[in-house]
Amino acid sequence: MIHRISVLLSLCLTLFPFWTGSGVPTSPQGTDMIKKEAFGTSPDGKPVDLYTLKNKHGMEVRAMTYGGAIVSIRVPDRKGHFDDVALGFDKADDYTAKVPYFGAIIGRYGNRIANGKFTLDGKEYTLPKNDGPNSLHGGNKGFDKIVWEAEPFEKPDEVGVIFKHTSPDGDEGYPGNLKMTVTYMLTDKNELIFEYHATADKATPVNLTNHTYFNLAGDGQRDILGHELMLNADSFTPVDKTLIPTGKIVSVKGTPFDFTKLTVIGARIDQKDEQLILGHGYDHNFVLNRKDKGLTLAARVYEPTTGRVMEVSTTEPGVQFYSGNFLDGTLTGKQGHVYKLRYGFCLETQHYPDSPNEPSFPSTTLRAGQTYHSTTVYKFSTR
Ligand code: BGC
């Protein structure tokens, strides 16, 4: 037995020379907290790198340069057992097929723009229609489909990667060169922080977000309907049959959209509610209750079997709660797990969908000389 353990240990040390495998850093310099490795190639043949970030509690986040996508998030359950709570694939090449934005940076405009058109300063712009009549998540080649430049960094209480990209004037129909940095930080408080900065040389709509699918039960092996969700939102933006907001902001009170208290996701999802039918479940933007423009709690999710809790805070005015309604068992993810209906959910912090065509919604226009800045924190714990 002891022999077997020591063989296993030396195998671990050979395979992971920087880590003990227990999550405890071995190097006094702390250089064991971040690792870079090759992760295949993008569809246009560019090499893709994978960064592994680890904190002092053993929480581990992997992100790749293709789409800046989060590939995995390993967090403990209430007994200290680590599982991966993000859906994804084992190698970059698997992300190049038709994948529903697993883990990726979304832009230039996260969510839908009606009829692939908007008018800005009197000029009409046309975007690719990649979602029925609408333009979704930045068009045919959004920021999820490019290889980002990456620069890792380490600070005393956090490790991270800065992803950089400049989207050229006219990219997918959008005006102006848009220069961006998206910083991922893993802190010693078990927080995964996304910080977005952008500047443009012409006015353009910008709505950046992250599209990680979570399953807090771990390893995407069952649906997320038993998770409990709280959304700090007294109202939401109902949609038409193409999932474009009607322009109204409606109270959630007395509807299956009331998540103001922790509620089981599956409790009302099959009700004959018009909005649930249009969304094929939850696929709606919630209007966050906020006192100021600072970081505000947007959502809390609790998974009762493992005790895992995820809290989402953001500077954004809205969050899209998407219950994985278009996952249909055709994708086989990490470790051969088949992602079936509602095996993952997304909480995409954002400005409201179709804001460029909806003057009553908070503006998404970034003008030359201004700086776009947005922060979202996903904090993990157990109870
Ligand atoms: C949208 C869904 C869409 C999914 C992509 C979400 O952000 O709200 O309607 O299907 O992204 O697969």
Question: Is pLDDT above 90 for 5?
Answer: no
Query: Which one is catalytic: 137, 165, 211, 284?
Result: 211
Which positions ≥6 away from 295 have C-beta within 8 Å?
313, 314, 315, 375, 377
Beta bridge pairs of residue 73: 61
pLDDT band at residue 32 under the 50/70/90 scheme: confident
pLDDT digits (tens, 9 = 90+) for 269-289: 999 999 999 999 999 999 999
Give the pTM.
Answer: 0.91
The fraction of the chain above a pLDDT of 90, given in percent, is: 88
Q: Quote the ligand 1 centre to 322 CA distance (angstroms).
A: 7
Mean pLDDT of all residues in 234-257: 98
Could you report the per-residue pLDDT of 87-98, keeping only the tens digit for each? 999 988 888 877
- Residues 137-188 pLDDT 10s: 999 999 999 999 999 999 999 999 999 999 999 999 999 999 999 999 999 9
Strand 209-210 versus strand 105-106 pairing type: antiparallel
Told to judge if 3 belongs to the known catalytic residues of this protein, a careful annotator would answer no
Helix (H, G, I), strand (E, B) or coil at 355: helix
Closest residue by CA, ligand 1 atom 5: 100
DSSP, residue by residue, 83-101? EE-B---SSGGGGGSS---
Q: Which of 57, 62, 73, 72 is nearest to 24 (CA)?
A: 57
What is the pLDDT, as a whole number, of residue 27?
37
What is the reported pLDDT for 234?
A: 98
pLDDT for res 31: 54
Mean pLDDT of the chain: 92
Atom from ligand 1 closest to the CA of residue 110 = 7
Report the distance separating Cα 344 and Cα 312, nearest Å. Answer: 16
Concerning whether 149 is annotated as a catalytic residue, the answer is no
Ordered by where they begin, the domains of the chain are 34-382 (2.70.98.10)
